[in-house]
Amino acid sequence: MADSSETVADDVDPAATRPAGLNDVPVLLFIRGFAFLTVMMAVVVGLHWYLGARLIRDAGLAEPFASAGWTGLWVCFGSIFAGFIGGRLLPRPIAKVLQWIGFTWMGAFGLLIASTAFSDLVLAVAGRVTTVDATWLFWRAVVIVAVVVPALVGGFFVARKPAIKRVTVTIPGLPQAFEGYRIAQITDVHIGETLTRTFAAHVTTIVNSLNADAVAVTGDLIDGSVAKLRDEVAPLAGLRGRDGVFYVTGNHEYYHGGSSWEAEGARLGMTVLHNQHVVIERDGQQLVIGGVPDVEGGRFSAQHEPDAAKTFEGAPVGAPRVLLAHQPRFAKRVKDTRVDLMLSGHTHGGQIFPFMVFVKLQQPVIGGFATLWGVPTYTSNGTGYWGPPFRIGPRGEVTEVTLTRAKG
């Protein structure tokens, strides 16, 4: 049992590698995607109406301000979808503008919804002891905006300044030669239209300042195709670890060509661990570092199905094993394979308060160290961000994981 202490190439068509019998996968993915988008569209439309009803209608705005407010609200609604669609279909300069607008509104919208819902609760309680009239409703809207805007400004700057987080993990049976072995982990960097090569260079500088024994890149490195982002990720070729830089894919790689990003990772000098392991040797003693593709990989190609047992085939008997896997929920599929520590990400720690509560609907943890299905797992808050260019609450991190032997 391990424990932890914290101190603060061009895209490859998936069909090209898909074996016979799986030709219906794209159709199934389309149906699932269409159904999901339909439900999400209905939910988002409803929430925008709710926001307008509370902050425009109930606030008693006079014309033409009320009409302008409703028009602006629905334009902002459209910007969310324009950002997603434009990012794939339009030239990059245009897509970049649309994504900045759409993702910025997405973050503002989330905070406005949470704040408005909370204020409804407060007003419901206040209504039991006093009269809640139009004046209350007007000032409610003013207070919400006055709280949300500074939070977004602060979250914008915090999102671009990941902190170094040091974590110590105790591994029983760790060979003496690996006492104090340090792994620098980055994950969910999400280089794309709003986080560019400047951020990639900044992250590289932070990682290299740690002089770690190994560097682990645990997926969601990007948000775009290799063709679009090759120049943006170029600074990551400068990542350095004494024993190497190891990379596994996340779910976002598969939205933009998983095989292509594995090839690009290799071109950048990373060791891509695709259901594979490497053996690190020191003074005749050994440590095994393995890695698997993301759990989403199998939906795109059978060759990208993660397999922990296959990953450690032929590994030295008795040598401690560290597994790189993007999503912490993969621990459930690792429970029958001996793993001494799994390093994951994906959750972003929730990224924007209070939405970390939704992470628990899909993942067993929000972040930090936990033993999941018997697998000691550290889940990073992520280094960058996805979508809204803000972090409000959980800060991004470059994690320094130090291995130590069990005491006593």
Look at the alpha carbons of 381, 383, 384, 386 in this order and tell me if their dihedral is positive or negative.
negative
Report yes or no on 13 lying in a domain: no
Q: What is the mean pLDDT of residues 161-182?
A: 96
151/171 same-domain check = no
Q: How would DSSP label each residue in 200-239? A: HHHHHHHHHHTT-SEEEEES--BSS-HHHHHHHHGGGGG-
CATH number of the domain that residue 249 is part of: 3.60.21.10
Does the structure show a pLDDT above 70 at 226?
yes
Q: How many domains is the chain built from?
A: 2
145/40 same-domain check = yes
128/195 same-domain check = no
Residue 49 phi/psi, 5-degree rounding, is -60, -45
341/226 same-domain check = yes
The amino acid present at 213, given as its one-letter code, is: D
Report yes or no on 122 lying in a domain: yes
Report yes or no on 19 lying in a domain: no
Contact 213, 181 (CB under 8 A): yes
Report yes or no on 18 lying in a domain: no
How deeply is 22 buried, as exposed, middle or buried, from its count of CB atoms within 10 A (0-12, 13-18, 19+)? middle
Query: Burial code of 333-372, b = ≥16 C-beta within 10 A, e = fewer?
Result: bbeebebbbbbbbbbbbbbbbebbeebeeebbbbbbbbeb
Q: What is the mean pLDDT of residues 282-306?
A: 95
Does the structure show a pLDDT above 90 at 8?
no
The runs of H, that is alpha helices, within 282-403 are 297-300, 308-311, 356-359
247/292 same-domain check = yes
Average pLDDT, the chain: 90
Report yes or no on 20 lying in a domain: no
- Structure tokens, 10: 């061009």
Please, which pLDDT band fits residue 85 given cuts at 50, 70 and 90?
Answer: confident
Give 191's contacts (C-beta < 8 A, 6+ positions apart).
Answer: 197, 199, 200, 221, 222, 223, 224, 229, 232, 233, 384
Please, which pLDDT band fits residue 93 given cuts at 50, 70 and 90?
Answer: confident
Cα–Cα dist 377/369, whole Å = 6
- Structure tokens, 211: 């002089």
Cross-strand bridge partners of residue 277: 290
Residue 111 phi/psi, 5-degree rounding, is -65, -40
State which of 157, 187, 205 marks the end of a domain: 157
| pLDDT, tens digit (0-9, with 9 covering 90-100), for 366-389 | 999 999 999 999 999 999 999 999
Report yes or no on 43 lying in a domain: yes
Contact 149, 386 (CB under 8 A): no
Q: What is the mean pLDDT of residues 286-295?
A: 97
196/320 same-domain check = yes
User: Edge to edge, what strands does the sheet with 321-324 contain?
Assistant: 276-282, 285-291, 321-324, 341-344, 375-379, 368-372
36 vs 354, higher pLDDT: 354
pLDDT of res. 136: 85
Cα distances from 279 to residues 270, 273, 313, 384, in angstroms, run 15, 12, 12, 29
Query: Burial code of 200-217, b = ≥16 C-beta within 10 A, e = fewer?
Result: bebbbebbeebebbbbbb
150/169 same-domain check = no
Cα–Cα dist 391/381, whole Å = 10
- Structure tokens, 389: 């260019």
Please, which pLDDT band fits residue 333 given cuts at 50, 70 and 90?
Answer: very high
Report yes or no on 17 lying in a domain: no
310/218 same-domain check = yes
Helix (H, G, I), strand (E, B) or coil at 121: helix
Please, which pLDDT band fits residue 5 given cuts at 50, 70 and 90?
Answer: very low
Please, which pLDDT band fits residue 182 given cuts at 50, 70 and 90?
Answer: very high
pLDDT of res. 29: 63
The amino acid present at 56, given as its one-letter code, is: I
Does the structure show a pLDDT above 80 at 21?
no
81/224 same-domain check = no
Contact 383, 164 (CB under 8 A): no
Q: What is the mean pLDDT of residues 29-43?
A: 79
State which of 91, 126, 157 marks the end of a domain: 157
pLDDT of res. 26: 59
Name the nearest CA neighbour of 401 among 331, 342, 332, 315.
342
Please, which pLDDT band fits residue 6 given cuts at 50, 70 and 90?
Answer: very low
115/30 same-domain check = yes
How deeply is 322 buried, as exposed, middle or buried, from its count of CB atoms within 10 A (0-12, 13-18, 19+)? buried
- Structure tokens, 53: 């009803």
| pLDDT, tens digit (0-9, with 9 covering 90-100), for 118-164 | 999 988 887 766 677 888 889 999 999 999 999 999 999 999 999 99
67/194 same-domain check = no
pLDDT of res. 89: 78
Of all residues in the chain, the percent with pLDDT exceeding 90 is 76
Contact 10, 227 (CB under 8 A): yes
Does the structure show a pLDDT above 60 at 4?
no
Does the structure show a pLDDT above 80 at 12?
no
State the residue range of the domain holding 194.
3-8+162-405
Cα–Cα dist 34/37, whole Å = 5
State which of 157, 179, 206 marks the end of a domain: 157
Report yes or no on 16 lying in a domain: no
Does the structure show a pLDDT above 70 at 7?
no
120/259 same-domain check = no
pLDDT of res. 128: 66
